């Protein structure tokens, strides 16, 4: 395997990983602050009579009928965007796993535990952000943030 950096030391790896995780935490905090600043608790204009009736109707739907209603093109696009985020996150974890096991071959148990913890944290954060998006309805902004490449 060709090394990208020649004569790398454990302290250089540690410094690079620390920087990597700080940047990742910074981006996450930035997105969280943007969510807090952009979303309003209530809409600026109150809902019309028809919207209130639709809300009452929406609350009385069963799980499967509401699932059929949300399976639209926009939902499919959102699903693809979230899956792209999940795939890049998993790829990131796999790359970190390869880096750790290459330079710390005797610490495979610790590496496995770290990657399992990171995977569980990713799942929990996805659920949390799903709840936040469902509560505040910011699917369009999420789609734009995830696809700003």
Count of CB atoms situated within 10 Å of the CB of 142 = 19
Q: Give residue 140's pLDDT.
A: 67
Locate all alpha helices (DSSP H) within the chain, ordered by sequence.
Answer: 10-38, 49-59, 63-70, 73-103, 108-136, 139-146
**What is the per-residue pLDDT across 105-146, written as a single tens digit (0 to 9) for each?**
777 777 778 777 887 887 787 778 777 777 776 766 766 666
**What is the per-residue pLDDT across 28-41, written as a single tens digit (0 to 9) for each?**
888 888 877 877 66
Q: Give residue 27's pLDDT.
A: 87
């Amino acid at each position: 395997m060709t090394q990208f950096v020649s004569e790398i030391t454990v302290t250089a790896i540690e410094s690079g990983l620390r920087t990597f995780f700080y940047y990742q935490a910074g981006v996450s905090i930035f997105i969280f602050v943007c969510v807090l600043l952009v979303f309003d608790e209530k809409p600026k204009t109150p809902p019309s009579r028809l919207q209130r009736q639709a809300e009452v109707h929406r609350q009385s739907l069963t799980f499967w009928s509401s699932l059929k209603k949300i399976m639209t093109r926009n939902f499919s696009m959102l699903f693809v965007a979230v899956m792209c985020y999940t795939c890049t996150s998993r790829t990131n974890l796999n790359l970190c796993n390869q880096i750790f096991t290459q330079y710390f071959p005797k610490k495979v148990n610790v590496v496995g535990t770290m990657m399992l913890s990171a995977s569980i944290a990713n799942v929990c954060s996805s659920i949390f952000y799903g709840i936040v998006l469902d509560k505040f309805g910011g699917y369009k902004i999420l789609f734009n943030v995830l696809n700003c490449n």
